[in-house]
Each structure stands twice: as structure tokens, then as C-alpha cells.
Structure 1
Amino acid sequence: MGYPVWWALGFGGLSVIVLAVPMAVVLWRRRPVKVPPGFGLWLLLLAGYLLSALMLGESPPGTYGELGPGRLVGYGMRLALYASVLIMVLYLGNLTERELPQLRLVRMLGALFVTTVAGGLLGVLAPGFTFTSPVELLLPDWLGGNAFVQNLIHPTAAQTQKVLGYAMPRPEAPFEWANAWGSNVSVLLVWAVVGWWAHGGARQRAFLAVLAALAAVPVVYSLNRGLWIGLGLAAVYLVVRVGGRARIVLCAVAAGAAVAFALSPLAGLVAQRLDRPHSNDIRAFTVTATLAAAAHSPVIGYGNTRNAMGNHRTITTGRTSWCGSCGHPPLGSDGQLWLLIITQGFTGAALYVAFFAGAIRRHWADRSPVGLGGVLVMGLVLFYMFVYDGLVTPLTLYFVSFALLWRNAQRSAA
């Protein structure tokens, strides 16, 4: 509920790390602590990440760079995040229904969906909006100037990229990257539907319909093909899994929305994006280079990303006065799966997949609104890992969704 304040302060996605401390204190005081199924898999992933620190000073063939503050900061932040989201799950799962009602938690996520849509519209209407956060003012230059840290602590409305051949703002407020906004808006839409449609009255449903229509604008302007595919997969999932009258209503709503969209100016923008798959070559290069580098440390990876030699266009490393498009894309930057492979080897990637796939297997039979929504989010996690980094805020929302599934199972068993 208070996430916009955290974002304005400059904590944003790092707020879960700050809040993990008091959550851990609460858990310590109310021992014994219940743990969810799959808990051991994430502990193994954490243990593997600790071991991967042994490789921080190494650079595999085809990459370059030396061990420095940036590499250590990135490693430390990821480790803190992986530990913090697990603490958060334990905290949420150990609260009673009286302390935190399930529906209240779902509707809190729905409120964050409102914030996300508002941030997306801000990115479309005022893409240049930005300001210096208090955290940014307090950090020393060597830390605050790090590119990874800068994205986390410097609030901006949009990320400007030449996706269509010309500068185009892609909404990202109130999150750290445009792709993070895309992942988060789809996950939060799921919980808004559960809280305000499945468990709401006529007013809540009307409000959600208007909000979803407004959300279509930044969703399209995000130029985010992964988001578009994710929303399509979500629609197919719901049509297959819900039955009776609900399926008929869902199909009618989907058909009406499709017709309205096709007649709107937004359809032309989607067509332009599909005609310019400019990132395909970049992704192909980084994924290939990531797999090649990880093959030299397949079990524990390298602890952090590495810079590739050259890019998909040239072997030149770094930008020059005569080649502004030359660069050194960080390996593992095109999806959580590839990030895990370079940072923790194929072992870490397998543990990540097993954790979320296990949640789908255990809760597939839960056909309550929370069960259907939670399993859908777990499925989106496994799809998005090919195209989106889970860091920072997406992973937090994935784990809140996991906690909702676990809480639902505890209620059913009681």
C-alpha cells in the first residue's frame, strides 16, 4: 500500500530488503515458524549463490572486466533480495487470518495495480518526469553512480529507447525498468481480478473494467511483446480452467475488448512494434554468449553478470566516437533464466524452475479464485524467466503470490 512512498524515497524495489529485518524479528519472536513446501529448494539456491562468490574474480572466455565495487555491489544486492523474499514469504505465511485476512492481502495487490496503471499513464503523458530521491542524495558517488544502483534509486516515469527506429518512451514508474513494469502490471492485474471481480460487487467490477481500459494505453505504449504474450497466455489459461457461466462471460469480455482494441489507434502501434523485432538479434547474441560462458562454470556460475566482447553487430568492445551503437551487453540481462545460468550455473537455474514448477503441481487442484490466480502467476513466472529479469520488484510480487497460494492451502487443511 505504501510502495509509492518507498519509490519516491529512492528505496523502491529495495524496500523489501529493509522490511525483511523487522519481519525476521517478528518471526524469531513467534517461533516455531511454519515453512512452505519447496522451502528447501530456495535454501539450496541461496547456498549455491554463496558458493558462487568464489568465482567473482574470474572472467570466462569471450568476456572481460575485473573484480571491482560494481560487481560486488550487484552480487550483494541479489543475495540480500533472494534472502529477503524468503523471509517475506515466511512472515506472510505465519500470520493468521485474523492478523492479515487473505482477501485484504489480495486487495492490497489490487491497490498496487492502481498505482502501477497511474505510473504507466504518467510515463506515457509525461515521459520526462524524474527527480532526485533522498537516498540518491545520501549515497556516495562510487555507489550511487553504479548503473545497477542508479536504476533502483532514481525515480523516473519512462525509459526512452529507439524500439521503433525513433526515440519512444516506455513506461516504468513506479518500478526500476520498463520490463519490470510489464511483468508487474500483468501479475497485479491477476490479483485485481481476484479481489475486485471474483470477490467484488457491481461497483468494484465496474471500477476494474474502467481501470483495465485505462491500463491498455501504457500496456501498448510499453512496446513490450513479452507482456502482450503473457496477457494472451493468461486469457487462454482462464478460458481453459474456469467453467460454466464464468467461461461464457470471460469469452464475451475478451471478444468485446479485442474488437474495441482493433478499432482504436493503439492497434497501429502494436503493428509497428511487431514489424520491428529489433531486439531479437541482441537477445540471440547475449543468450548464446551466456550459455558459452556458463559452460566453463556450469555448477556454481560466476556470482554476477559479465560483459561480453562486442555485441551482435561488431566485435568492437565499448562505444566509440565512430560507433555509438557498439557496446558490451551484460550476459544474463535478457531473462531471469539466463541471469541464473551465468550467476549460479545450470544448478541454480534448475532450482529456480523446480521451486515455481513445484508450486504449480501442488496447487493445480485448487480451483478457488486465489488458487487459480496463484497458479496462473506461477506459470507466468516460468514464461517470463526467458524474457525478463526477476529482479527486483517482479521477484517480490512472485513471492507474495506464492505466499497467497501457501496461505490458501493452510486454510483448506484447517
Structure 2
Amino acid sequence: MDRILKERYKYTPLGRLAASGGAPEESFVPAQAEISTEAEAALCRVEPLPAATLREAAERSPHPGLTIDPLLLDNLGAETKQVQGVQIDIPAGCETSGILYIHLRYPSATPIQEGVQKYVQRHRIRAGRNSRVRVVVYHHACASADALIDSALLLEAEAGASVELFEVAETRATYFATVLTSIERDASVKVTTIDLDNSILRRNQFVTLAEPGADCNLEGAYLTARNQLADNYIRMHHASAHCRSNQLFKGVAEDDSRGAFTGHIYVAPDAQQTVALQENHNIVLSDRARIDTRPQLEIYADDVKCNHGATVGRLDPEAVYYMRQRGIALEAAKRLQIEGFIREVIDHTRLDDLERLLHDKVAKRLLHI
């Protein structure tokens, strides 16, 4: 088990959980985010998920090492009065109209607060049988770059349900997240993550396709600059037959920054007729930037279709040359190619307002290239 956890956190500085810049653990100051919602009060309430519920879900999960995972243990160990969260509960047969928006803002510390601000969150999204819901969670910039956000989300899709979750993180601080997803018979879950500006980002996604017909689609884009780190870890567990999963992640790293992607697909012995696809493509913009990608397949069934592909490279010089020949400046040509590279993930959100916002955010991040 130690080996599993060591490999899982190969690229993430877990010491950030207990210290910041050499500061002792007691220098953490519990802080409260400002949470605003755009949703019906009957479906969405600002209330943290109880630790016992999250712990029970982790114990039921088939993912090895989950109950002793450092991020999850740190979240569960927080004092109740420190924890915040949002719970979305969609009744059976309910199809929500519009999008449920959750905004999390991180204000500056008060003069009496000395130390590193730590925000602990515990959320839940539960979609009842044959229900449908779309949720956008937006983490806005922290007032302090030293802040730490420790978030956990329990996502449950009951039989026949459809859940689409879009998360945008531009905290400018350290953001640790754990997502536990369970998908029942003929239910579908799509999770899209857009990581634009985070000092350190580590996101774990543990997905269980628990019953036949379950479908999961994970997509993500991450941009890093300066000395930032973005590390996405995914474990997709096909526990039942006739399930499908798809992963598409794209990353861009510049300066001295670093990215990492680990996608582990596990297919259980009884999970026949599994379809599991995975792609991870990355661009590095300097000799000092680095992105590590680790596609992993663990298959114990013999009637499956499992493919994975991973690339790390530079900008296409021919495409840049083509645009230069048409009067486009070098810097603008590079930006256009990167925007086009990321666009595929953003455009799959199928949310016009969010797409426009994200395209604008990406364009601004690339202005200095």
C-alpha cells in the first residue's frame, strides 16, 4: 500500500498539507470561503457533507488505498466548524431547467489572522433515478497565494440519471481536490475540469462504474506557467459489464512549470464488453517546462476494447509558419495554435456563456507569450 501511495503522489508535494514555506502545521488559520449559488433552494443547499457519509463512501469504494489517502484523510480530519460545502440533491425523475452555478470566492484574511489560510470543503451531488442535472463550480482567485484549499466531492448518479459537472479552478493558490464518483445502471456522468491559474493543483478522481450500462466521460485542460504545478490523477474502475468510459485531457506548460497526468483504467474480471478510451496530449513551451504522462491499463477481462494514447511535444512549426505567411505575427500565431489546441475541451461543454468566458480567460493567460 505504501508503494501505491508513493506512486500516486510521485509529482505532488504532499508536505504542503502540513507546512507552507517551512511554516509549522499550527500556522494554518481556518478560513471561510464566500459561497454563492444560482439554483433552486429545494435542490441546492449551502451545507457541508457530513464526514461520516464521505468516510462510508470511501470504505465502500473498490479503489485500493482510498481510505488512507492523504488528501482524503486530511479533509476528514478537519474540525466540523471549519468545513464548508454545498449539497445538491436531485429527486428521482427531476430534470432541472438551466444550469446550477456554484461560486466559491476566497477573501483576504482579517488583520487578526496570522498564518496560512486553509479552506476545507466537503460537497455532494446526488442525482436520483432518471434525473438530469448540469452543475458549474467556479473557484475564483484567492486573495493570498499562500492559501490552501482542501476540497472533497461525493458524486452519485443513480440508475438512469445524467450528471454533467463543469469545474473551473483559477485559485492562484494551492488547490487539493478529491472526487469520488459512483455510477449505477444506465446512468451517465460527464466531468469537465478547466485549470487556468493555480500555484499547486492536485486533483484525484476515483470513478466506479458499478452496474451495467454505466457511462463516464472525463475531460480536462490545464495551463501552467512560472513555477506552477498541475497534477491530475484518475482511477477509472470498471466493476461491471457493458460499461463505457472516455478520457480526454490536454495540457500546456511554459517557463519552469510542470504538469502531470496519470490515468489508471482497471477492468474487473466480470467486466466483459467494456469500452475504455483515454487520450492525454500536451504542449511544452520552453526547455525548462515539463509534463509527465502515465497512461495505465489493468485488464482482467478478455472481451474488451481499451485504448490509450499520450503525447508531449512542442508547437507545430509548420502551422506557425503557415500563419506567418499570412501576415500573422509570431506571438499571435503561437497563441492561436494553443487556443485551438485547448478549444476542443472547452467547446465540449456546450454552454455558450461558459465557453465564451473560458476562451477569454485562456486568451488572457497567453498574452505574454
TM over 0.5: no
Please report the TM-score for the alignment, with normalisation by the length of structure 1.
Answer: 0.22
Bigger relative contact order (CA 8 A; separation at least 6): 1
**The structure with more strand, counted as a fraction of residues:** 2
Please report the TM-score for the alignment, with normalisation by the length of structure 2.
Answer: 0.24
**The structure with more helix, counted as a fraction of residues:** 1
Query: Over alpha carbons, which structure has the higher Rg?
Result: 1
